[in-house]
Amino acid sequence: MLFSCICLSGSVRSKFNPPVAHAGWGSDVYDASDGLSYKLRDKQCLQITLTQKGTRGSEDCLYLNVWVSGGVEEARKNPLPVMVWIHGGAYAMGSGWGANFLDNWLYDQEPLTLHGNVVSVSLNYRLGPLGFLSTGDSAAPGNYGLLDQVEALRWVKNNIWAFGGDTSRITIFGESAGSASVSFHMLSPLSKDLFHRGISQSGTAFSSWAVVKEPLRWAKQVAEGLNCPTDTSTTEMMTCIRSAPIDDIVTSVGIISRNRDINMDLPWSAVIDGYFLPDRPENLQINSADKDYLLGNNNMDGHLFVGIDFPQMNIDHEPMYHSDLVKASTRFTAGIPKQVSDAVVYQYQAYSDTVDDTFYKKAVLDVYTDSLFAAGTQLTAQYHAAMPQTTGSTYVYMFSHPSKMPFLYPPWMGADHADDLQYVYDKPHKTPLVYTSDERSMSEALMTYWTNFAWSGDPNTGPNVGPAFWKAYDLQTKNYLEINGSLAANGDSALNSNYRADYVAFWGIMTPQLWESSLGTCRVTDTSKQSRASVAPACPKDADFQRETLSGCVQGESQYWNGIMYSKFLGVPYASPPVGNKRFSNPTDPQTWFDVRPATQFGKICPQYPFDSSTMDEDCLFLNVYVPVDTTISIDNVTPNKYPVMIWLHGGSYVTGDAGQQFEAGVISARSKVIVVTLNYRLGSLGLFTTGDAHAPGNFALFDQNLALRWVKDNIASFSGDPTRVTIFGQGAGAESAHMHTLSPTSSPLGFNQVILESGCATTLNEYPDQVQTSKTFGTNAGCDASASDSLVACLRGKTVQELVTAQNNLQFAPVVDNYFLPDDPQNLMDSATLSQWSYLMGVNAADGTTDWETVTSAQNADDLHQVVENKFAATYGLGTSDIDVTYTMWSDPQFNTNQQEVQEEVLQMFTDQHYVAPLSQLADAASNSGSSVHFYQFSRVASFSDAQKSYPEWVGAIHGAEVPYVWGDVVRSFSSEGQYPDDASLTYSVITYWTNFAKTGDPNSDEYGSSTSQSWPLYDANNKRYLDLDSPIQSSSYLRGKQVYFWNDLLPTLEVTCPAIGI
């Protein structure tokens, strides 16, 4: 049953004012029986035509329509849920009944009403300047169209009972501008008590177009179009505008045109008016805490708008190019600062030379879709799910069914803006010849989910059953349902998680930061908090060693070294647990906690062989923070930007290691007044498994590290740390990782610029075995079929951690070029511009080659040496391998052939030179030539206190990792050990001083107060190659292993050897 065109407002008093409720029609009976007919054309709100030359509609337009399932009398016996539709149209066009084709009205609610057994309402509201013109002050506050909607909701709340509607179950839903309207009502104090649930289809209050930031600019354009003065007061300007002919007001400003510079600079939308929207959307979230929310977007929502700016988008055989992406980066909205445009290009451009002709079409389309719709939708969901006071549920979808425009759109086209509407309103059954059976099923599913949600706040619970169980969204899983024609066939597998997370983060964190930085006006609310939807409560007052993070409050503790107090915060989560479907995926931000979290014990370490469930767990992404305590002031005083920060990445060949007690940083922090952060990251298969494609791109361990770096950037000020003075340092695989962060485009936005590399750099990445093959072998070991990527990943996600760790034993996992974290081989990324952004402290240990000790000891004589060289290098250097033999054979010693120690010394030195000294020397040369500050060292001290060193023969020099206990102060942790090893204690203090001076000033020789070290450390450059030999005593030298370095870096790669060597 339909009641059409019920009069909502008796007057709008005068132009640009809120509506006034209709006074009623007394004892007369209002005739609402005309139904949906062509008479409705005269009842739509006055609006500009599609040609933007004329108008249609009327000022007398505030009407609504009511559909009742089963008739009023039946509904009043058992009141039905109410669904109120708010139409879209850029706040400039449209009506509550929508377009009409062959007497088929787009927003005819009858099919939805009958399918879900609900009461449905649609409404008109004022549009264009009549509904949304604002001067930003009392002369014309704006938001009149939204206030019309409030009046309609108030009417529904007060009157829908008479139609059989349940006033305790009112759901508002809308698309595009109507979708954003729903979002605004979720936040507005005026609407708070008028409904209970909301559905937003492609638009929210956080969409880039939803809030007009400069309303007076548009009011002045209207005035100019009407020949009204713009240089007088806003009151005088509005007096002139109000007196102008109504049609002239409506057509004074166009909406979208190919002749406009920026089409997405929309003139009409909401403004922060201090009344309907009293504050920014992020500060009004509490008003939606008691409401259920279902929201989503179409996967190619931006296509409608891209096609206006780039007509070639729809010409199938006409490619688009990088230049089009650059152009798009300046057009998706108005006033884009250059550094934002540059960042957009960085985020969306190809990092491969093998992209097809559609790549840049899709990239430009993604820019529009993400910026205009997807990012705002996801951010809104995060906010709604994060509120500690919330009692409402959150459900998120992505509609991806291909557009029904095959002859106009390219074959790869997905769901355009508004493509979902035809299915919500069941057009597949009303015009069956145009649609497939799958599309009819999908339409039924959409109506089921929407109306079930109106019944219960849960799309799974209501009169009908959907084809897939739709799990609620939360900050840990970020579930969403993909809706398309395959929904019935896909069933529960249509549920996915973490929709375009990297791009959502880009638009939610990086873009606002860059934009506001360009304007020189920063929000009071931290943008990173907004992006993570963190509303974690503040720490309690007067609580010692409690610190606020974006995810919640942590409780640390104090400790002493040598009578000096420091504090430590252990086991702080920097990511959500990477378990279940998050296994073999990039990490996500930690879930908010609301109690004070104890941070006095290390978290479990990441699984590694042999597996021990008592100490290891997949939930292992924790970090530890060690902080100096200034006892001259209150011990709990936080002074932002006070201390420099050092972030440690542990070694272990990517398969072992952790950030636990071995790296307790009390000595460094207390003695040198720096903050030290240590962290776990996923290892072995869990951290680096890759299928070489989108199913498991790899490098998850590096993304763990990247997220930890971002955690430091966002949170360290709460620990008195300076996020602008951060040094990354690592050893072995940790050094390789640190170097990769200096090259990766994902880490460069963090702004860090100092790195310490201890025996490792990224240019040796190609020495690791083929990682796709390694991963297939691992899969086979685990009992999975490795022939197809998707099934392999699914199988491995079903295995226990114990099974995975067992299957990976003796396999070497490593990072890969993934076209994202590493867009190219590290060697190719080391351009001058990248290198010049960093200051470097780097070096090697005298016997770093002990990492391949088993091979070293396999060489008993010269013949074995030759075989080792052949096995190790023949695949790379071919016949030139014999030249390596020549270089590392002691030709001057006639006994060399049978002298086991000498042979092993040469093999050890060969491995040290080839894998450590030569690559790091090459990096040092390149960095120095780019203008960077470089300090180089060799660590030569053989530690008499080290059990690890003692496990090698006495002739072996400082083994791989020998410097680590000196960096961390092992020998000076107690007076007894310091007194027992005075030379080692002295070297320890020197190393700590060099390292922490570098963290403070970029120069290991002096701290922030100008204090100098006793032994000056000279700068390295490619000509003098000066370095510091860290031994007892410390001394400077030059040209470390100069000839051998030249051999590996300059000679061997250029040799074109086609003849075999004779006599070897």
In a domain? residue 415: no
Angle at 15 between CA 10 and CA 20, to 5 degrees: 30
The question of whether 193 is a catalytic residue gets the answer no
Which of 122, 176, 191, 672 is labelled catalytic? 176
- Average pLDDT value for residue range 354-364: 91
In this predicted structure, what is the pLDDT of residue 526? 35
Q: Is residue 224, in this structure, part of any structural domain at all?
A: no
What is the spatial distance between Cα 986 and Cα 197, in angstroms, rounded to a whole number? Answer: 68
Output phi, psi for 449, to 5 deg.
Answer: -60, -45
Asked whether residue 817 carries a pLDDT value surpassing 60, the answer given is: yes
Residues 679 and 743 in one domain: yes
Query: What stretch of H or E contains 626?
Result: strand 622-628
- Coil, helix or strand at residue 924: helix
Do 620 and 568 lie in one domain? The reply is yes
Q: Is 534 a catalytic residue?
A: no
CA 882/CA 905 separation, integer angstroms? 19
Instruction: Indicate if 571 and 634 belong to the same structural domain.
Output: yes
Q: How confident is the model at residue 525 (pLDDT cuts 50, 70, 90)?
A: very low
- Residue 524 is predicted with a pLDDT of 44
CB-CB contact of 941 with 847 (8 Å): no
968 and 1036 co-located in one domain: yes
How large is the average pLDDT for residues 747-775? 94
The β-bridge relationship of strands 564-573 and 557-561 is antiparallel
Q: 737-741 long-range CB contacts below 8 Å, 24 or more apart? A: 737/649, 737/701, 737/702, 737/705, 737/815, 738/649, 739/763, 739/826, 739/923, 740/702, 740/815, 740/821, 740/822, 740/826, 741/702, 741/705, 741/706, 741/709
Please give the distance of CA 667 from its chain centroid, rounded to a whole number: 35
- pLDDT score at 308: 86
DSSP secondary structure string for all residues of 226-239 = TT--SSS-HHHHHH
Q: Judge whether 888 lies within some domain.
A: yes
Number of domains forming the structure of the chain: 2
- Domain span at residue 887? 843-1054
Residue where the block lists tokens 């505030």: 62
Better pLDDT: 346 or 46? 46
The CATH number of whichever domain residue 750 belongs to comes to: 3.40.50.1820
Q: Does residue 662 form part of some domain?
A: yes
Q: What integer pLDDT is reported at residue 1022 of this predicted model?
A: 93
User: Which one of 778, 800, 817 terminates a domain?
Assistant: 817
- What is the model's pLDDT at position 256? 56
Count CB atoms within 10 A of the CB of residue 606.
Answer: 27
Name the band, by pLDDT with cuts 50, 70 and 90, for residue 531: very low
Supply φ then ψ for residue 559, to 5 degrees: -150, 170
User: Residue length, the chain?
Assistant: 1064
The reported pLDDT for the residue numbered 527 is: 33
Backbone angles phi, psi at 186, to 5 degrees: -60, -25
pLDDT the model gives residue 784: 98
More confident residue, 33 or 720: 720
Q: What is the pLDDT of residue 523?
A: 52
Q: Does 695 participate in catalysis according to the annotation?
A: no
pLDDT single digits (tens) 128-167: 999 999 999 989 999 999 999 999 999 999 999 999 999 9
Of the candidates 143, 324, 155, 140, the residue with the CA atom closest to the CA atom of residue 238? 140
Residue 886 counted as domain residue: yes
Query: What are 230-243's pLDDT values in tens digits?
Result: 999 999 999 999 99
Asked whether the beta carbons of 495 and 469 are under 8 A apart, the reply is yes
Query: Which residues are 21's β-sheet partners?
Result: 9
Determine the pLDDT at residue 471: 96
> Residues 185, 196, 384, 417: which is the catalytic one?
417
476 vs 724, which has greater pLDDT?
724
Q: Is the pLDDT of residue 529 over 50?
A: no
How much is the pLDDT for 749?
Answer: 77
So what's the pLDDT on residue 261?
Answer: 63
Residues 857 and 1004 in one domain: yes
Q: Do residues 576 and 683 both lie within one domain?
A: yes
- The tens digit of pLDDT for each residue in 886-900 reads 889 988 888 898 999
Reading the block at residue 729, the tokens are 């340092």
Residue 479 domain flag: no
Taking the C-alpha atoms of residue 276 and residue 282, their distance in angstroms, rounded to an integer, is 15
Whether residue 847 is found in the same domain as residue 809: no
What's the mean per-residue pLDDT of the chain?
91
362 touches 412 (CB < 8 A): yes
Contact in structure between 707 and 936 (CB atoms under 8 Å):
no
Structure tokens that stand for 436 in this block: 């497939």
What is d(CA 344, CA 328) in angstroms, rounded to the nearest whole number? 9
Position 4 scores a pLDDT of 65
At 491, is the pLDDT very low, low, confident or very high (cuts 50, 70, 90)?
very high
pLDDT surpasses 50 at 541: yes
- Given 265, 301, 370, 658, which residue is catalytic? 301
3-state SS of 484-543 is CCCHHHHHHHHEEECCCHHHHHHHHHHHHHHHHHHHCCCCCCCHHHHHCCCCCCCCCCCC
Residue-wise burial string across 279-309, b where 16 or more C-beta atoms lie within 10 A, e elsewhere: eebbebbebbeebbbbbbbbbbbbbbbbbeb
- The answer on 848 and 980 residing in a single domain is yes
In a shared domain, residues 659 and 779? yes
DSSP type of residue 1050: I
pLDDT of residue 22: 80
Instruction: Determine, yes or no, domain membership for 265.
Output: no
Query: Does the pLDDT value for residue 810 go beyond 50?
Result: yes
**Long-range Cβ contacts of 855-858 (<8 Å, 24+ apart):** 855/907, 855/911, 856/904, 856/907, 856/908, 856/911, 857/904
The whole-number pLDDT of residue 1060 equals 78
The beta strands (E) that lie in 732-797 are given as 754-758
- pLDDT > 90 fraction of the chain, expressed in percent and rounded: 72
How far apart CA 884 and CA 798 sit, in angstroms, is 47
> Where a domain ends, among 817, 851, 869?
817
Where residue 101 falls among pLDDT bands split at 50, 70, 90? confident
pLDDT of residue 31 exceeding 90: no
Whether pLDDT at 10 is above 70: no
pLDDT value for 15 = 81
Q: Tell me the per-residue pLDDT of 303-350, one tens digit each, with 9 for 90 and over.
A: 999 988 899 999 888 999 999 999 999 888 778 888 888 888 888 998
Residues 757 and 904 in one domain: no
Give φ, ψ of 515 to 5 degrees. -65, -50
Output the pLDDT for position 263. 62
pLDDT at 257: 46
**Under 8 Å CB-to-CB from 264, ≥6 apart: which residues?**
208, 209, 305, 331, 332, 333, 334, 368, 372
429: buried, middle or exposed (CB in 10 Å: 19+, 13-18, 0-12)?
middle
**862 shares a domain with 785:** no
For the segment 471-496, the average pLDDT, to the nearest whole number, is 94
The answer to whether residues 794 and 906 belong to one domain is no
Alpha-carbon distance values, 717 to 539, 640, 745 (Å): 15, 5, 24
- 195 burial (CB, 10 Å; 0-12 / 13-18 / 19+) is buried
> Looking at residue 684, what is its pLDDT?
98
Residue 521 pLDDT > 70, yes or no? Answer: no
Q: Is residue 708 assigned to a domain? A: yes
